[in-house]
Amino acid sequence: MMNKFFIYTICVFSIFVILLCTPINSLAQSGTDTITSYREFPLIGSRLAVWIVAQIHLNFAAFILGVPIFSVIVELIGIITKNKEYDKMAKEFIKLTLMALAITSIFGALLTFFLISLYPGFFYYLTGIFAATLWVYPLLFFGETACLYLYWYSWDQLSNRKVVHLFVGILLNVFGLSIMFTANSWVSFITSPSGIDDQGNLLNIWNAITNFTWMPFNIHRFLGNISFGGAIVAAYAGFKFMASKTNAERAHYDWMGYTGNLIAISGFMSLPFAGYWLTKEIYAFSEQLGVILMGGFLSWLWIIQALIIGIIFLATNSYFWLGMERIPGAERYKKYIKYLVSVVALCFLVWATPHTLIATQEEAHRMGGSHHPVVGTLGLMSAKNCAVNIMILATFVSLVLYRRGNKISTVKWFKIGNRIQKMLIFSASGVVIFYGVYGYFVEAVVRVGFSLFQVSSVLFCIISFTIIEIFLFRNAKIIGKIKWGKIPFRSQYSLLAIGVTYTWLMGLMGFARSAMRQNWHVYGVLKDTSADAYTPALGYTANIVSIITLLFIIFVLFIFWISGFGGKKKSIQKDVILPETHQGQSHGIVLFKGAVLSAALIGFFTLYANKIPQIESRIPEELAVPEGKLTQEDIVRIGKGIFEGRGNCSICHLKTGGRGPNLENVGFRAETRKPDMPPKEYLMESIIRPSAYLVKGYGPIMPPANKPPVSLNQGEILAVVAYLQSCGGVVTIKPDDIPEGAFSPKSKEKVLLAKGDITVGEHLFNEKGCSVCHANTAEEKAKLAPNLFDIGKRADIDYIRESIIDPQSKVVKGYDLAMPDFEEKLTLKEFDDLVAYLLSLKG
């Protein structure tokens, strides 16, 4: 005992030291020194190292923060009902926490070390903002650890002074929550920074802590931790159940698994509500961030999430339905299973419907775009909100039927009460569906608000239903006692599956939280300039999440294995040992079966995430034109950029064969196709007059690239030609061929607007009599009308056009002589030429 305590003390102490040292450590790093602000972790790279360590740390932290919350509640129930079993279970929960504490600390320390050593620049900035919280944090940690030990070691000593013991438990949770709230302030700050000025300097630490997403994060994680803790405890109980040797042991673990699952599902049912709030706050902070999270490249993450949550819901329901088999009298409700499973499955189908579908070109064309007119409607938020709320209600009904299993109400008003309950369920579903459908008829901002009505109607229904239920079944007739331990074996796989799936889901959501910042360390403030700044695609993510899940499971098994040592001595006592045939399986077999199940589940998620098309979020690249003299490579590179981007060429000229010829080897073909024509001329001609040299089999559909809407200028076309020549041929375009300033944004407009011929325009200016009144050089004095020597700078094309067509509309002050109307006197071509000439006069 002493030995273990010693190890923990060292762990806690080391954390203490690390955290206190951090500001000093990172101060040593110069903030301006960008080269050394990243260091490379060997083999796997810095990002992966931090990612894995952070997620495992978070999983364990969720466990050790979640379990004490319901442990205290279970103990309280034990005190109220005076049932020793509850007390025993609460104690067992805490034992698991105790074991996990050391691993949590180790990973926490590892994470801190990794951040200091691998991301010093980022760490320096963050510690600069949150220095004050870093001084409090270790103290909270100390309080948490002290309370946990006090709570555990005084369990038997304080067995006759339960209230004092309970108080210690509550204090433990207060410290636990404070730790989480503090850590959340850092994590939420990097998502939605506040309390800083535009340069990122700290203005007010309290504002930095209470940023937009801080409280939603707290609530979401609070509920998530309880739920996660429950799921892991249930999986543990499922494991123990299958390996149980005695009836009593089996009954105990059956009960523990049931309780764990009940806790998990209660937390789980309220999680979407916290999720809405969190997302709403993210949108409120930055619409951009919200769209990245929900609609952008992360949108398919939510389909995977829906798949996983659907599986968790179905598995939970299955566990309740199977649980009915250990309750005498529950057969009465078996007939409802098929309806419930249909409802949940239908909701699952709606919920997992993507808005944007994966489709081949043919399929996309058939349904008229990337989303389906019928099914696509289900991919919107309104339909999904409906589905998840009704799924929650259905699961609640499953739970109610389970609880009613062996009870017959004795109250006189049972029929009325039951009818009211039914009405509650149906009206809540009605409200949910009404707002779901109505949501399609209102604008988005209003629609988002509807989820509140849906959620509150479901919550109201669940709460009032439960209150009626309590009174309905007070002093109810019991048909038979629940036969704990008599649940079919396969139900325990549900518990294992929920635990594993839950862990995987945590990993995925951890990625979502981090990935929405894309290439920012602190969103909008501190850019990630490391090699890993891009955000990986979902397939890669799923691989990493699977590795993290496996590592977590291995560590958890290790903890459970260790925790088994203490209790072994007393396990086989006076309990009836099961007959040989019913004896539980050996640990090895259970472990093997659990491993197969976990591998199947994790494999399935990973496979699915890898099967969908992979989209990475690359760092937005600025197509910078290099200053000064261009080299031939520059021109080819710019040409490639135009070919793939502004020029729209790659839409038709695909490598896989598209509407236009494959241009993979075009440089070579241009040299040989017309022997009497230089390749440069051939390519130029093909771009400007596409129908001149059609390739056999292709129609004359290509628009001239120098005309709108693409409107490439001479230089840009030459660059494209250079790029095309580089595809299998010799580049003959020289830097001198490119007109000055061809790639500057200004010239784009000029090419388009000056459709006319400037020299003809100059000729017209004199011939049509403009020059009688208007001067066109700066040296000349203004005649009867304004001097136009710099009109191209002063006026835009619309102004010039209108002045010629309807001179009266734009009379410059001081010039009274009416200009004649030239509309009738110019042909359209002449008009364009004249406008082009005037525009070219820039003074």
Partner 1 sequence: MKTDKLSQIFLLVVAAFLVLKYVIHPRIPSSLLYFYMMIVIFAVFIYIISDTKLLQDFLNPIKSIIIKNEDPLIEERNKEARMLIFGLLPLAVAVFTYINLSVGTKQPAELRSIHPEPPLQILFREKPLRILGLKNPLRADKKNLNKYIEEGAVVYFENCFFCHGDNLDGNGHFAEALNPRPADFTDPGSISQLQESYLFWRISKGGQGLPAEGTPWNSAMPSWENVLTEEDIWKVIIYIYESTGMEPRRWEEKPLNR
Angle subtended at Cα 616 by Cα 221 and Cα 300, rounded to the nearest 5 degrees: 55
- Does 345 bind partner 1 (CB under 8 A)? Our answer is yes
Q: What is the DSSP string of 133-202?
A: HHHHHHHHHHHHHHHHHHHHHTTTTTTT-HHHHHHHHHHHHHHHHHHHHHHHHHHHHHHS--SB-TT--B
CB of 522 to partner 1, least distance (A): 12
Check binding of 257 to partner 1 (CB under 8 A). no
The stretch among 22-30, 63-71, 346-354, 590-598 that binds partner 1 (CB under 8 A) is 346-354
- Site size for partner 1, by CB under 8 A? 96
The site map against partner 1 for 259-298 (x = CB under 8 A) is: ------------------------xxxxxx--xx--xxx-
Q: Exposed, middle or buried: residue 777 (CB in 10 Å: 0-12, 13-18, 19+)? A: exposed
The CA distance from 296 to 280, in Å, is 16
Task: Give me the least distance between CB of 402 and partner 1, in Å please.
Answer: 12
Residue number, 297 or 435, with CB nearest to partner 1: 297
Residue 224 or 647: the one with the smaller Cβ distance to partner 1 is: 647
What residues pair up with 535 in beta bridges, in sequence order? 617
Among 429, 617, 706, 725, binds partner 1 (CB under 8 A): 617
Which of 74, 172, 223, 352 is close enough to bind partner 1 by CB under 8 A? Answer: 352
**C-beta closer to partner 1: residue 442 or 811:** 442
Query: Which DSSP helix (H) or strand (E) runs through 571?
Result: helix 538-571
Q: Which is nearer to partner 1, 45 or 200 (CB)?
A: 200
C-beta closer to partner 1: residue 582 or 813: 582
The gap from C-alpha 309 to its chain's centroid, in whole angstroms, comes to: 15
* Count of Cβ atoms closer than 10 Å to residue 720 Cβ: 27
The answer to whether 178 contacts partner 1 (rule: CB under 8 A) is no
Angle between helices 247-285 and 287-294 (to 10 degrees): 140
Query: Which residues inside 433-452 make contact with partner 1, applying CB under 8 A?
Result: 440, 442-445
Interface with partner 1 in residues 180-239 (CB under 8 A): 193-196, 207, 211-212
* Candidate segments 242-250, 314-322, 389-397, 546-554, binder of partner 1 by CB under 8 A: 314-322
Q: Does 713 bind partner 1 (CB under 8 A)?
A: no
**Of the residues 158, 170, 171, 325, which one makes contact with partner 1 according to CB under 8 A:** 325
CB 619 within 8 A of CB 519: yes
Residue list 480-509, contact with partner 1 (CB under 8 A): 488, 490
Residues 364-383 that bind partner 1 (CB under 8 A): 364-377, 379-380
Least CB distance to partner 1 at residue 649 (A): 10
* Tokens coding 568: 């072994």
Token readout for 787 is 């001097």
Residue 228 Cβ, how far from partner 1 at the closest point, in Å? 22
Peptide bond into 709 cis (omega under 30): yes
User: CA-CA distance, 711 to 701, in Å (whole number)?
Assistant: 16
Cα-trace Rg, the chain = 36
Q: Is 276 helix (H, G, I), strand (E, B) or coil?
A: helix
Identity of the residue, 137 or 321, whose beta carbon is nearer to partner 1 in the bound complex: 321
Inter-residue contact 666 to 703 (CB < 8 Å): no
d(CA 342, CA 347): 9
802 binds partner 1 (CB under 8 A): no
Based on the shown chain and the rule CB under 8 A, indicate whether residue 510 belongs to the binding site for partner 1: no
596 binds partner 1 (CB under 8 A): no
Asked whether position 84 contacts partner 1 by CB under 8 A, the answer is no
Q: Which residue has the tokens 């910078």?
A: 624
| 355 sits near partner 1 (criterion: CB under 8 A) | yes
Q: Is 749 helix (H, G, I), strand (E, B) or coil?
A: helix
For partner 1, give the closer residue by CB, 161 or 618.
618
526 in contact with partner 1 (CB under 8 A): no
CA nearest to 204, candidates 192, 213, 195: 195
Judged by CB under 8 A, the residue of 134, 170, 205, 337 near partner 1 is: 337
Q: Write out the binding residues for partner 1, residues 738-777 only, by CB under 8 A.
A: 745-746, 748-749, 752
